[in-house]
A and B are shown apart, each in its own frame.
Chain A
């Protein structure tokens, strides 16, 4: 069976995040903004089909508050 999930996940740093909201535009399937513009991330590993978009979301963050990390390295 084809692998559908990567072992990567998005790690969000709420201290650095300045609510630019660009990440949610790059990856609307996995990130919604709360009423103040801060992102709420979907839990779990990034599906293979969304990997490129997740990379773009991390690259779009002007303050690098969003990182793509291996699941084992992320807290929780």
Chain B
């Protein structure tokens, strides 16, 4: 067997992991809040009238529940690719990483900074993934707090992809892939800022603010 096979496997599964994580992020943002809920008002506007249709508009040709399912299931697929990406890099041995470098950042002999970013991303991803699997046993605010660290995880994964030495970033196709991923997440994030909100959620937030203001006084 070609001795370089594992190295190629690692690079290929690394790119696939990033693309899948990007998709998971976009799908997560697409279901966040009451996006597309029939009873939702758009950011801060007065309550919407009674639901004209039974379900909200679909996204990516899927129902909202379908988007949400895909978000959950694709995250598991991404984890599988990530495991292969890491395992093949370790076993290949070309860059002399050890198991510790996978989880503890900035100690690697090779490209310590960018491998380190990858390690932090792995830690955050594990936290997000494991807390989600245990979701029914974790208080909702705690779960959500952990879940939101995904927004830190993803940029770290991008930096790790783009700057780890010996990657494919020198080639145009790789630059295009990474750029496309960034564009997708930024677009989804902009859309997310204007997501639909239920009138009750807005009222609840206004209530919280009044409550806070009352305590300060």
User: Which candidate, A3-11, A20-28, A43-51, is the interface stretch facing chain B?
Assistant: A20-28
Q: Are B55 and A18 in contact (CB under 8 A)?
A: no
Chain A facing B: main interface SS: loop
Q: Nearest chain B CB to A70's CB is how many angstroms away?
A: 16
Tell which of A37, A60, A63, A64 touches B37, judged by Cβ atoms closer than 8 Å.
A37
One digit per residue, 1 when the CB lies within 8 angstroms of any chain B CB and 0 when it does not, for chain A 28-49 equals 1000110111100000000000
Q: Are B135 and A64 in contact (CB under 8 A)?
A: yes
Q: Nearest chain A CB to B52's CB is how many angstroms away?
A: 10
Q: Are B64 and A25 in contact (CB under 8 A)?
A: yes
Residues of B within 8 A of A25 (CB): 55, 63-66
Tell which of A19, A26, A35, A64 touches B65, judged by Cβ atoms closer than 8 Å.
A26
Q: Nearest chain A CB to B66's CB is how many angstroms away?
A: 8
Q: Are A37 and B38 in contact (CB under 8 A)?
A: yes
One digit per residue, 1 when the CB lies within 8 angstroms of any chain A CB and 0 when it does not, for chain B 61-84 equals 001111011000000000000000
Bound Cα distance from A33 to B37, whole angstroms: 10
**Which chain B residue lies CB-closest to A63?**
B140
One digit per residue, 1 when the CB lies within 8 angstroms of any chain A CB and 0 when it does not, for chain B 1-44 equals 00000000000000000000000000000010010011110000
Q: Are A16 and B140 in contact (CB under 8 A)?
A: yes
Q: Are B54 and A33 in contact (CB under 8 A)?
A: yes
Q: Are A33 and B39 in contact (CB under 8 A)?
A: yes
Q: Are B140 and A35 in contact (CB under 8 A)?
A: no
Q: Nearest chain A CB to B147's CB is how many angstroms away?
A: 10
Residues of A within 8 A of B64 (CB): 21-22, 25
Q: Nearest chain A CB to B197's CB is how many angstroms away?
A: 10
Q: A18-B201, A26-B65 are in contact. List 8 more A-B contacts (CB 8 A).
A: A18-B198, A25-B63, A25-B65, A33-B54, A36-B199, A37-B51, A62-B31, A64-B140
Residues on B facing A (Cβ under 8 Å): 31, 34, 37-40, 50-51, 54-56, 63-66, 68-69, 135-136, 140, 198-201
21 contacts between A and B (CB under 8 A): A18-B198, A18-B201, A19-B37, A19-B200, A20-B34, A21-B39, A22-B64, A22-B65, A25-B64, A25-B65, A33-B51, A33-B54, A35-B50, A35-B51, A36-B50, A36-B198, A36-B200, A37-B34, A37-B37, A60-B68, A62-B68
